[in-house]
Structure 1
Amino acid sequence: MGIWEQNLAALAARNPLVTEALQKYLAEPTSGPEGGVKRIFPCETRTGLPNLKLVQGDKHVLLHSNYDPYFEAGRWLESLTEQEPGGTLIVFGVGMFYHLEILLNQFPDKLIIGYEPDLEIFLHLLRNRDISRYILQHRLTLLVEHESVKWDRLLLTYLVDHPDAGIGWQAFPVYERVYSTKWRQLGQSMVALLIAFQSNLVTTRYFSNLWLINFFHNLLPAVSSPGAHTLFNRFKGIPAVIVSAGPSLNKNVHLLRELENRALILSAGSAINILEKHGVTPHCIVGIDGAVDDNSKIYERSLSAEDVFLLYSTTFYHGIVNNFRGPKVVMQLDHYDYLAWLNGELHRNIGIVRSGPSVSNVAMDLAYKLGCDPIVLLGQDLAYTNYQHYGDGAIFQQTFTEEDKQKKGAVVRKDIYGNDVLTTKAFLTMKTKFELDLQELKGRFFIDATEGGLKIEGTNLLTFRETIDNYFKMEFPLRRMLCEICRESSDDEPVGLSRVKAVLYQSKKAIRKIRQLCRRGLTTAERMRRHCQDQTLGIERFNEMADLLERWEHDILRHPLYTQLVLRSVNSEMYATTMTTDREVQNEFDLFKRGLAAARGYNQQFGIIYAKCALIEQLIDETLGKMEP
């Protein structure tokens, strides 16, 4: 058996989807990824090792060092941000595998995902280097760029199988340059996927219900509040300061008192308590967090502030939205926001704000859409500077203890001064989201005036004093501007409650239809389970029942309301259930055992949807009850 055959056999055993993608590509080659190479030529290094020359326009680039690819790979590994022994690393660019070989040998406990954006390069690798023994290692997963390979689905499968594995991603340098567009897209998708997955399915399940409850309780305020689009581009050239609650806020929070009419102050999350302690009244509070207890404490004093605007998403804790006395503006987020469904039904466009793992990520995109320039980050440590959680005045625990270090999986990174500082994977995900967004938000000057914590690439480091002296030289009647803009929006045609009622009644009817389909599916799944358990099912009857289950599933998954509303709240659970079931069914050859696995999976799937629809129907009824005179 030759090199090609050995590699292909190993790949077929470990990842049949990638093998299938290769076969489809060989049968019908497609062009490489956008912005990628135009031609690829095999060549050898000076030591006789396989290499590739990439031609991009009039540029010729060697994929690996012409001298010693292994030495180059070792240097690359040394240049990476400090690697933990375990966890998972996604490497953008498989190339001729030299760097992955070094990585696998040097970190025997690390799980590696190699992602190759160009199938031509992958084919050259499989034909010229025997990597079959590595492919067969269960700690290595190889993915390729092809329409038949749903890499996000495969990655989610991986996350389900390894829920505790911390995820990081790095590009092999040549790929970062040659396939820069694809690298950015991968980063954005990675962050979105990790945010959606939420570290574990229990947490996701809890928050999906919480987000639904908050959405329906916030529904009436949302349709009566001006949309965020009314503020878009109305603050062109006006500085904005996004205030977060990081410990370095102690250094400069007092300077905010100078900025009442010189910069738009946006308070993100729990920063409001610190601002209150220092006598600073922000122009706006940005809120997206749905937790009940935390928000009840954080915003207790802010509820009565009549000159502060609340910019909120419908995931925000409804107790704050419904009791806030000041003006309110609703935001539609681009990810997991049920408001997208409602606005679609009402034909209402209020603009879209980028979501993120923290309210500060959302606030930065909001400031950009308002037209603000420069945009300043304050208190954005993304780390436990001086072993503190928050700046002075925050209502929660202050000192970062040894127990916290273990619980949160803290890691050491360098701060902006080159000193060691503790941070967490959650903070690093926020940092990555900032950096990916900053690559897209062009034409503005972004300043990180935190004066501590991690460096956010794409921002300019200045002290807050320097920032104020150099960029905050003009005055603007900011509170009056906000009030006038919202007053103008109140002249627009309001959303009639009769339209909202009609949407809710129609949706309730559709939800009942989905529940009816779920009941049919549950009944059929139970019959299949019973027959398979008793081994009283022939192949013909088995296929009939399997077809029925597929029909109920198809009717549910294609139902418009399921795709527009229900899917958002069951996505992670459904992914986990269907992928687990698929693996069990594919690996089982006994008819009755396959039937039991399929019945169990369908029972879980229909049960998840049924329970969520029951909750939605209850929330619709409660909302309709509030609308009765």
Structure 2
Amino acid sequence: MADTYRKNLRCLKNMSNEVYNRVNNLNIKSVSICKSKNNQLNLVKRFENREIYINSTYNPSEQAKYIAEYALKDDNNIVFIFGLGMAYEIKEMIKKDRNKKYIICEPDMEIFKVMLNYVELESFFNGNNDISLLLYNNSAEIVDNFKAIIKNEDNLNIKFINLPSYAICYKDLINEVQLKIGEFINITSNNVFTSLFFYNKWYENFITNISNFSETTNIEELFGKFKNVPGIVIGAGPSLKYNLEILKSIGNKAILAAAGSGISTLDSHDIQAHMWGAVDGNETEGRIVEDLKVNKELMLMYSLIVHPSVFECKSFTSKFLLCNNVDDVYFKTRKDKSLNTLYSGSSITNVVAYNLAAMGCNPIIFLGQDCCYSRGKNYAEGSKFYIENSEDSGTIARLNENGEEINEEKDKLMKVLNRNGEEVYTDKGFLTIKIAMEDVIKRFPNTRFLNGTQDGLNIEGAENIDFNKYCTEDIFNNKEYNFNEIVREIYLNNKENDNSTLVMFKTDLNDITKKLQVLVGFLGEEEKSERIDIGKIKSFVEIKEKELMAISYYSIVLMFKFSFVKHIYGNKSEFDKIKYKYLTLLNTCNFLNNTMKQMGILEEN
């Protein structure tokens, strides 16, 4: 072990003195070596008061094969891997294909230093492979170095691979890096770039949905109110078909929480749910509830980015605002700063599970959470988006976000084992949902999680059960809970009865607009000068920026969203960067003000 570490240090010193010094001077505090169940070396990281295993706890090599197969099966020339871990994945990839360019981002220097004791860098950094290593933990440095690495590439066909554990520990960093790189590629490829900040549909949804806020209260009002009441998270996965008949008999002995299109599956089989969770910004979200027959009384958990057609298609007995994005955070903390319980997840099923746990539900049971194409299908029969598929077919038909039917070729999907030990097809999206669900489980160590999805993947931390048997032996022996009455009372006592929060928002927006107009006007005058005094400009901007940051909507929402597009001006002069920043923000405020006036959401002052 000592010889390996010394050899690696020499290798590092030849590669970069700066990296060598960072590693040499680093003290290990949160990472240690361990072994997986098959006796292969693994790493464990202490993260937010829990332990995260960096590689598979069962068989790291086998997991590496699956990940490598997925990474290499498409016609891409660059593989961007987020996370090095114990290097199982990169070794497997170069063994299969040495002709691709590999870019590895390892944001955790402690993981890297511990790994150096056991894995020889020269086993893959040996001159025979095109591998670059980025040892940074902020998006700016990662993206800047990425640009330098690929600057001479004629073709940018990139596949992103995130090691599962890093998707938990570095979720926000991964999202920001991938978004910035994706936007950079669009720009350099002369593609039409539509700013996520101005025109993305979620933002338009937000403007429309704030008109519903007067009949809404916060989901936090329900936290802790249903201690030890069983909560069932119901997705629309194919395995739900096994449980539909017994779900009809549960009644009020457990909370039936439908997620996304899960409500349409229940309704088509005459099953009444207690609540429905919706966050999808696509128009298809409204189609899910447009013709419900059984679920006439339904509590809604939603985010301000959900598609407005949800409210056009269905009236709800109560509406609770989730804390799913920065717009939600703003509307919550504008009145009560303690309500910032931000959790987004990868899917509405993750969000529903998190909020049921926060309500005190125990146990939490997963149904229709296949996280794979069970029996060659994407949804359970009765789902709004169900398409008949043959298990023997070479493709899987499904609907895309616009409701259009597309066919996925099975040989472009990943093969994994489900909880029954059977080979099934899955993809990155499904696996991300699975990982996010495992993260929810770790956040609630005192809650019991049960996986009743018969043909789905194993979910780490959730005990596999035969749900129908569990109902007979356990849930049917429970008392009836007056869930609807409790929710209704809490809702009526706490819902917003006037437009005060919207008025505060309009006031914030007007104040921001006026200050930005002053700033942009000042910059315009300075630009006319024969010599631009950048010191004078920075001093003025610093004063105005402090004033702007004191306004909640600017500091919570606008600055967060601007962070996703500011790199567009990376090659501009210092003055132009300042000018374009505030022009972008002012144009956005004008867009919001004009849209709100056109919609009549609030009367003019």
User: TM-score, normalising length from structure 2?
Assistant: 0.74
Shift of 1:429: 1.0
Distance 1:3 1:474 in 2: 61
Larger deviation: 83-92 or 502-511?
Answer: 83-92
Shift of 1:301: 1.8
1:158–1:611 CA distance, 2 compared to 1 (3 A) = farther
1:300–1:506 CA distance, 2 compared to 1 (3 A) = same
1:567 matches 2:559: yes
The answer to whether the 8 A contact 1:310-1:326 is kept is yes
Does the residue aligned with 1:435 lie in a helix, a strand or coil? helix
Larger deviation: 415-424 or 513-522?
Answer: 513-522
Q: Of Structure 1 and Structure 2, which has the larger fraction of its residues in helix?
A: 1
1:412–1:158 CA distance, 2 compared to 1 (3 A) = farther
1:612 matches 2:602: no
Q: Which residue of 2 aligns with 1:514?
A: 516
Shift of 1:304: 9.4
Shift of 1:265: 0.4
Distance 1:434 1:369 in 2: 14
Letter in 2 for 1:491: N
Match runs of 1:453-492 below 5 Å: 453-478=456-481, 480-492=482-494
1:331 matches 2:311: no
Distance 1:98 1:92 in 2: 8
1:564–1:98 CA distance, 2 compared to 1 (3 A) = closer
Q: Which residue of 2 aligns with 1:60?
A: none
1:551–1:437 CA distance, 2 compared to 1 (3 A) = farther
Does the residue aligned with 1:338 lie in a helix, a strand or coil? helix
The answer to whether the 8 A contact 2:23-2:109 is kept is no
The answer to whether the 8 A contact 2:416-2:424 is kept is yes
The answer to whether the 8 A contact 1:111-1:140 is kept is yes
- Residue of 271, 283, 294 corresponding to 1:280: 271
Distance 1:407 1:519 in 2: 57
Distance 1:164 1:129 in 2: 24
Letter in 1 for 2:306: F
Distance 2:308 2:339 in 1: 20
Structure 2: 5+ residue stretches without partners: 1-6, 34-43, 47-58, 73-78, 151-155, 184-192, 390-395, 399-405
Larger deviation: 159-168 or 220-229?
Answer: 159-168
The answer to whether the 8 A contact 1:346-1:500 is kept is no
1:115–1:206 CA distance, 2 compared to 1 (3 A) = closer
Deviations 1:101-137 (Å, cap 9, x if unpaired)?
Answer: 67645542344334553399389879x9779965997
Larger deviation: 341-350 or 98-107?
Answer: 98-107
1:150 matches 2:126: no
- Residue of 224, 227, 244 corresponding to 1:236: 227
Does the residue aligned with 1:300 lie in a helix, a strand or coil? coil
C-alpha RMSD of matched pairs (Å):
4.4
Deviations 1:186-211 (Å, cap 9, x if unpaired)?
Answer: 44243344456569546982897322
1:314 matches 2:290: no
Q: Which residue of 2 aligns with 1:165?
A: 159
Match runs of 1:365-444 below 5 Å: 365-396=354-385, 398=387, 399=389, 400-401=396-397, 404-406=407-409, 410-444=413-447
Does the residue aligned with 1:394 lie in a helix, a strand or coil? coil
1:459–1:154 CA distance, 2 compared to 1 (3 A) = farther
1:32 matches 2:56: no
Distance 2:243 2:234 in 1: 11
Letter in 1 for 2:137: K
1:76–1:324 CA distance, 2 compared to 1 (3 A) = closer
Larger deviation: 102-111 or 338-347?
Answer: 102-111
Letter in 2 for 1:188: I
Q: Which residue of 2 aligns with 1:63?
A: none
Letter in 2 for 1:508: N
Shift of 1:604: 6.0
Distance 1:102 1:150 in 2: 25
1:364–1:207 CA distance, 2 compared to 1 (3 A) = farther
1:572–1:404 CA distance, 2 compared to 1 (3 A) = farther
Larger deviation: 404-413 or 263-272?
Answer: 404-413
Distance 1:454 1:349 in 2: 36
1:517–1:79 CA distance, 2 compared to 1 (3 A) = same
Distance 1:122 1:321 in 2: 52
The answer to whether the 8 A contact 2:230-2:364 is kept is yes
Distance 1:204 1:324 in 2: 31
Letter in 1 for 2:585: I
Q: Which residue of 2 aligns with 1:362?
A: 351
Larger deviation: 435-444 or 507-516?
Answer: 507-516
Shift of 1:242: 0.9
Shift of 1:442: 1.0
Q: Which residue of 1 aligns with 2:187?
A: none
Shift of 1:156: 5.7
- Residue of 150, 168, 174 corresponding to 1:188: 168
Shift of 1:546: 8.7
Distance 1:299 1:379 in 2: 18
Deviations 1:198-242 (Å, cap 9, x if unpaired)?
Answer: 695469828973222222322243343222122212221111111
The answer to whether the 8 A contact 1:261-1:475 is kept is no
Does the residue aligned with 1:377 lie in a helix, a strand or coil? strand
- Size of the aligned set, in residue pairs, is 531
User: TM-score, normalising length from structure 1?
Assistant: 0.71
The answer to whether the 8 A contact 1:241-1:266 is kept is yes
Larger deviation: 238-247 or 129-138?
Answer: 129-138
Q: Which residue of 1 aligns with 2:131?
A: 139
The answer to whether the 8 A contact 2:31-2:114 is kept is no
- Residue of 7, 10, 33 corresponding to 2:15: 10
Distance 1:207 1:397 in 2: 34
Q: Which residue of 1 aligns with 2:64?
A: 80
Does the residue aligned with 1:404 lie in a helix, a strand or coil? strand
Does the residue aligned with 2:565 lie in a helix, a strand or coil? helix
Shift of 1:311: 1.4
The answer to whether the 8 A contact 1:222-1:330 is kept is no
Distance 2:410 2:175 in 1: 19
Q: Which residue of 2 aligns with 1:49?
A: none
Distance 1:238 1:224 in 2: 27
Match runs of 1:98-117 below 5 Å: 104=94, 107-108=97-98, 109=100, 110-117=102-109
Does the residue aligned with 1:166 lie in a helix, a strand or coil? strand
Larger deviation: 550-559 or 246-255?
Answer: 550-559
The answer to whether the 8 A contact 1:374-1:471 is kept is no
Shift of 1:295: 1.8
The answer to whether the 8 A contact 2:289-2:313 is kept is no
Does the residue aligned with 1:405 lie in a helix, a strand or coil? strand
The answer to whether the 8 A contact 1:569-1:612 is kept is no
1:386–1:122 CA distance, 2 compared to 1 (3 A) = closer
The answer to whether the 8 A contact 1:266-1:286 is kept is yes
Distance 1:113 1:501 in 2: 45
Shift of 1:420: 2.0
Structure 1: 5+ residue stretches without partners: 13-18, 38-53, 57-74, 144-148, 171-182, 529-536, 586-593
Identity rate, percent: 16
- Residue of 236, 239, 261 corresponding to 1:270: 261
Letter in 2 for 1:249: L
Q: Which residue of 2 aligns with 1:261?
A: 252
Q: Which residue of 1 aligns with 2:331?
A: 342
Distance 1:572 1:267 in 2: 32
Larger deviation: 265-274 or 499-508?
Answer: 499-508
- Residue of 81, 85, 97 corresponding to 1:89: 81
Distance 1:132 1:477 in 2: 61
Asked which structure has the greater CA Rg, the reply is 1
Distance 1:344 1:371 in 2: 23
